[in-house]
Amino acid sequence: MLLNHLPLVNRRNFGLRQLLARLDYLPAEQLAKIEDAFEFAAAAHAGQKRRSGEPYITHPVAVASILAQLYLDYETIVAALLHDVIEDTPTAKTEIQARFGAEVAALVDGVSKLDQLSFTSRAEAQAESFRKMMLAMVEDIRVILVKLADRLHNMQTLDAMPPGKRQRIARETLDVYAPIANRLGINTIKTELEDLGFRHAFPYRYRVLDRAVRKAEGNQRQFLRKIEERLGKALKDAGIAGKVMGRKKHLYSIYRKMLRKKQPLSEIADVFAFRLIMPDADSCYRGLGIVHQLYKPMPGRFKDYIAIPRVNGYQSLHTVLLGPNGIPIEVQIRTEEMDCIAESGIAAHWQYKELGSQLDVVPPQARAREWLASISEIQKAADSVEFLEHVKVDLYPDKVYVFTPKGDILRLPRGSTCVDFAYAVHTDVGNRCVAAKIDRRLVPLRTTLNNGETVEIITARAARPNPAWVNFVVSAKARAAIRQFLKNLQQSEARELGRRLLDQSLRDFRSTLRKVGKEQMQRLLAELKLDHQNTLFEQIGLGERLAPVVAKVLLQEGAEAVAAADGAAAADGGKPQPITIAGTEGMVVSYARCCHPIPGDQIMGYLSAGRGVVIHRTTCGNLGEYRKQPHKWIPVTWEAGIDRDFSVEIRVDVDNKPGVLAEVATRIGDAESNIEQVSIDDSLEDTAVLVFSILVRDRRQLAHVIRRLRHMPVVRKVTRSCA
C-alpha cells in the first residue's frame, strides 16, 4: 500500500485504510491520487473539529466511503475528500484545480455553499445554495451524489447538534434530499435519509412505530420463514434459478402510508414483503404466474413497472397476495440488473462501468438527463426561492402515464392537465396550444389527465399562454414556462407603453423622442445607471419612473431631476396631452375593479409601480388620491372604434319571487351581453338585490342593457356600480 509516507496519526485514526479497502475496484495509480487528496484535505482541515469532538477530516473520509460503496469513479472520491475545503478553509478553487484538475475542482465548487454572498433572508440563502448545487448537477450529476453522501453522513452524526437545528436539518432532508435520491433511483441512500430524517424530525412517533414494527416482526418471523421456503421451492420445481429474500419496509415509508391511507399499522399490507430475483425478464413474468398459483392475488394491487418503468428508471413487478390467515403479502419480482438499478439508480452506471460489465443501464441515465434538462429550463424563469419550490414539486414521482398520438409514453405528475402535457412535449407547443383532444374527444385545456389516455394538442401560430393557466397547471416545467413567457410579454408591453408615455411628455415640452439626440439619451442612461434605453422605457411603463421628470432631464433641465424621478412630484404649469388607450395594451394597462371603466367614460390613469397604468373613471371615489399624489395621475382618453369587451358591474333591485334571477339573466343575454359573475342579497322579505358583472363593448351597449332591464315588471331599480 501507499500509506507508509502518511503521518502515523492519519493512518490510525481517520479511516483511510478502510476507505482504500473499499476502493479495491480502482487501479493503483488512482488510489495514489486519492491518498494525495486525503493528505491535502487533512492538512487543510488541520486543527478543525466537528461538533462531536472528532477531527474534521473524519467527515470527508466517511463521505468518500459512502460513495465507494456505490463504486463511483476516482474523481468523485477525490471530490468527496475535498468537498468542504473551499467552504471551510482558505483554500481557493484555483489551488484545487492546479493540483487535482478542472473536473475535480468543478465538482468541489458545485457542492460548496454560498457563504461569500449576502442574502435578505436565511430562506433565500438556502434556496440560492440549492439552486447553485442543482445547476452544477445539470453540468455533472456527480455533484448531487457527493452532496447526498455528505448529507447522509451529517444525518448519521446529527445527535451532536442542538434539538432545534436537528429538527430543521431533518425536515430539510425529508423535503429535498431524500426525494432527490428517490428521483435518481438511489434507494440505499434514500431509505437511510428518510429513516434518519424521521427519527430526528418526529422522535416520539419514530420510537413508537419502531417498537410496534419490531414486535410484529418477532411475532411473524416463523410465519414469514415458511412463506419464503414455499416460494423458493415453487421456483425450484419450475426450473427457475431465482432467489427469494424477505424484507421489512423501512419505517418512514410505513409512517407515510399510515398517514396517506389513515390506517393503523395492523392494516398496512406490505410491512413485510418478499423480493424474487430472477435470471431474466421472461422469468419474472413466469415467476408472477407461480406466486399467483400459490396465493390468490388481491384485485387491483398488481403493477407492471417492467413494461412501464417509473420515472427514475425503477423496474419490477409488484403484486399483493392473500397469504395464510388472510394476511396480505407484497411480492416484488425483478432481475438482478433491475435490482441493482433499484438500489443504486443513476449510480449503477458507474458501478457497472468500474466492474467491466456490459450491462445497458441507459434508462436511468436517460431519465435523469431528461429531468436535468427540465431543471435547466425551470431555473431561467424563477428566482432562487421559486426555483426551490418548483423543483420540490417535481421531486415527488407520483406520476400519471399518458400517450402521445404516435404512441410514445409521457410521465407527468399526478393531477396534470392538458396544458402540462403540452409543455411536456415542448415549450413551444405549450405556448401555442389552444385546444386538446383526449381519446379523440375535444376537452377543455384544464382537463385532468388519467392513466392510459391518448392526448393530442391543437396549436395556433398566433396563440400565447393565458395567465390563468398558472392557477391549474401542476408540473414545474409548465408553471415556469408560463411565468417566463408572461414576464417577457409584460416587459415588451411595458417598453411600448413607456415609449409612448415619454414621447407624450416630451410633446408637452414641444419636443419628441426623434428630436432627442443620442448623446442626450446616453447621458441620461449614465446618470440613471441603466444599460439600455429599453430598460428606461420599461421602468416608465411599469410606473417605476415618471415620464414628465425623465422628459425634463432629457431636455437638460438639470440632473437633480433624476433624484426627483423616484419620489418628487413632476408638477408642470401646462396641461399635458392625454395618452390614447386602445384596449389592446395587454398586461401593463389594467382597468380598476372599483369603478369598471368602459369606452365612453371619462377616465384618468394612475401609475402603479410594477403594474403600469391602472385606468379609473373620473367619478371614481379613489380619484380623491389625485390630490395627495398628482404626479402619479396621467390624463388618458379612449381610442375611437375599440373592438373588445370590457367588464362592468350593475346592481338590479327586483321583486323577491321564484324565477326572477333566470328572467333577468335571460334579458341580459337578449341584449347581447355575457354574464361573468352574479351575487344575490335576498335578506329583505320582498326585495332582492342582484349584482351582475357583465361584458359590454361601451357605454352605448351598457345603456341598452339597462333600458331592457328597466322595462321588466319585476325590476324596481337598475344602477351602475361605482366606488
Q: Which of 36, 39, 88, 140 is catalytic?
A: 88
80, 146 in Cβ contact below 8 A?
Answer: yes
Catalytic-residue membership of 150: no
* Contact of 620 with 723, CB cutoff 8 Å: yes
The sign of the CA dihedral 117, 119, 123, 128 is negative
CA dihedral 56, 61, 64, 65 (to 10 degrees): -130
> Which pLDDT score, from 0 to 100, does residue 679 have?
87
**Buried b / exposed e along 205-241 (16+ C-beta atoms within 10 A):** ebeebeebbeebeeeeeeebeebeeebbebbeeeebe
The residue count for the chain: 723
Which helix (H) or strand (E) is 235 found in, with range?
Answer: helix 203-237
CATH number of 3-201: 1.10.3210.10
Helix axes 93-100, 74-82, angle to 10 degrees: 150
Task: Spot the catalytic one: 87, 124, 175, 572.
Answer: 87
Locate the domains of the chain by residue range.
Answer: 3-201, 205-354, 487-593+610-631, 646-720
Q: Are strands 589-591 and 612-617 parallel, antiparallel or unpaired?
A: parallel
* Alpha-carbon gap, residue 137 to 128, rounded angstroms: 14
Q: Same CATH fold, 205-354 and 3-201?
A: no
Residues whose CB is less than 8 angstroms from the CB of residue 282 and which lie 6 or more positions away in sequence, other chains included: none
Give the count of beta carbons closer than 10 Å to the beta carbon of residue 629: 11
Gap between the terminal Cα atoms of the chain = 85
Q: CB atoms < 10 A from the CB of 669, how many?
A: 13
The set of residues, in sequence order, having a beta carbon less than 8 Å from that of 37 and lying 6+ positions away, is 77, 78, 81, 82, 100, 104
Neighbouring-strand partners of residue 276:
244, 333
Spell out the CATH class of 205-354: alpha beta
User: Over the stretch 158-205, which tens digit does the pLDDT of each residue have?
Assistant: 888 888 888 888 988 887 788 888 877 788 888 899 999 999 989 999
Fold of 646-720: Alpha-Beta Plaits (3.30.70)
394 is known as an active-site residue: no
68 and 149 in contact (C-beta within 8 Å)?
no
Cβ-based neighbour number of residue 280 at 10 Å: 12
* Rounded CA separation 650/675 (Å): 11
Q: Yes or no: say if 446 and 472 are a contact pair by the CB < 8 Å rule.
A: yes
Give burial (CB, 10 Å; 0-12/13-18/19+) of 637: middle
User: Which residue stretches of the chain have pLDDT < 70?
Assistant: 1-14, 113-139, 218-219, 266-270, 311-312, 345-399, 543, 556-578, 582-588, 609-611, 625-627, 631, 723
- pTM of this prediction? 0.55
